[in-house]
């Protein structure tokens, strides 16, 4: 079998985290990636544990609160947020914490980031997988808000998250980045993008990124037994739960088809419509 396929709780926004657990159980995802953000339940470890118990869906990874909109979630100190994320992951039995490079204005944090990432998960079996990002375009100008840049392989870390919506927005070669990450690639955010400078998080297969080839490369070797694939797509424009369910089902079918060395039985999955 291929690597486990999880659903990011961000994929159900604007519904709360609980909806991700409900849909993951309904559709047959192997688990969830918990995005810690403004949803109060996502910040409460015990509340998340109750969702795991209620729906029978494990947390396979924790996304640290490192977005611009989550700079006050779990306190103002970004190092403390990393450590709290590691503690939450350990409590859930998740092996991976996903995090972004520091913003340029976080000078002290940027100076400490690499060392903190290298040691934060020691002793609890949690790895910190730094994610590739992208420049921001405003008024025709492209700026890089991350320090020292948006490509974490330029610095070098023990573990990485490859995000295919971000490679699209950055105009990066996803396969070349996969090669640079090498055996440090332990986590995949499976999504797509059109090549627009915006972070689109399309359903895989609906954009320009080599989603199928990336999945096929990761379906064997160390990643197949040690990595996690997370569907992190945008469903915010869906008007109904049915529309959201259809997109998440389509994304899961795509992942299963391209990740499993043996074609899976998809007869139990809901029909994809629309």
All structural domains of the chain: 5-259 (3.20.20.150)
pLDDT at residue 154 in the model: 95
Residue 116 has what DSSP assignment? H
Closest CA to 147 of 113, 178, 181, 171: 113
More reliable by pLDDT, 260 or 191? 191
Average pLDDT over residues 221-235: 96
Q: What is the pLDDT of residue 141?
A: 86
4: pLDDT confidence band, cut at 50, 70 and 90?
very high
Q: How far apart are CA 133 and CA 143, in angstroms?
A: 12
**pLDDT at res. 261:** 63
**DSSP code of 100?**
P
* Residue reference for tokens 């996803």: 174
pLDDT tens profile 77-94: 999 999 999 999 999 999
Comparison of pLDDT for 97 and 265, the residue scoring more? 97
Say what the pLDDT of residue 2 is: 86
The full length of the chain comes to 274
Q: How far apart are CA 91 and CA 93, in angstroms?
A: 5
Q: Indicate whether this model's pTM tops 0.95.
A: no
pLDDT of 267: 62
> Is pLDDT above 60 for 38?
yes
**How far is residue 267's CA from residue 11's CA, in Å, rounded to a whole number?**
24
Question: In the chain, pLDDT over 90 holds for what percent of residues?
Answer: 89
- Please state the rounded mean pLDDT for residues 102-106: 96
CB 132 within 8 A of CB 170: yes
Q: Give burial (CB, 10 Å; 0-12/13-18/19+) of 94.
A: buried
State the chain's mean pLDDT as an integer. Answer: 94
Specify which residues 10 forms β-bridges with: none
What is the CA angle 192-150-7, rounded to 5? 40
- pLDDT value at residue 260: 83
Query: Does residue 264 sit in helix, strand or coil?
Result: coil
**What integer is the mean pLDDT of 243-272?**
82
Instruction: Report how far residue 139's alpha carbon sits from residue 151's, in angstroms, rounded to the nearest whole number.
Output: 23
Q: What is the pLDDT of residue 245?
A: 98
């Amino acid at each position: 079998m291929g690597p486990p396929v999880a659903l990011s709780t961000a994929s159900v926004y604007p519904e709360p985290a609980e909806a991700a657990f409900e849909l993951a159980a309904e559709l047959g995802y192997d688990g969830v990636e918990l995005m810690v953000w403004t949803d109060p339940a996502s910040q409460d470890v015990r509340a998340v544990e109750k969702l795991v118990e209620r729906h029978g869906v494990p947390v396979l990874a924790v996304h640290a609160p490192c977005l611009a909109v989550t700079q006050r979630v779990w306190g103002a100190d970004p190092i403390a947020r990393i450590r709290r994320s590691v503690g939450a992951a350990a409590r859930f039995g998740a092996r991976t914490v996903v995090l972004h490079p520091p913003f340029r204005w976080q000078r002290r944090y940027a100076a400490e980031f690499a060392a903190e990432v290298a040691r934060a998960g020691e002793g609890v079996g949690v790895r910190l997988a730094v994610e590739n990002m992208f420049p921001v375009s405003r008024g025709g100008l492209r700026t890089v808000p991350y320090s020292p840049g948006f490509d974490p392989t330029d610095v070098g870390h023990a573990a990485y998250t490859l995000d295919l919506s971000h490679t699209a927005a950055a105009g990066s070669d996803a396969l070349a980045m996969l090669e640079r990450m090498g055996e440090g690639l332990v986590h995949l955010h499976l999504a797509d993008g059109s090549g627009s400078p915006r972070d689109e998080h399309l359903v895989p297969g609906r954009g320009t990124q080599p989603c199928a080839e990336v999945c096929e490369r990761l379906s064997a070797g160390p990643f197949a037994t040690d990595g996690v694939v997370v569907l992190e797509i945008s469903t915010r424009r869906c008007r109904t739960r049915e529309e959201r369910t259809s997109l998440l089902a389509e994304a899961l079918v795509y992942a299963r088809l391209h990740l499993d060395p043996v074609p899976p039985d998809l007869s139990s999955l809901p029909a994809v419509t629309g």
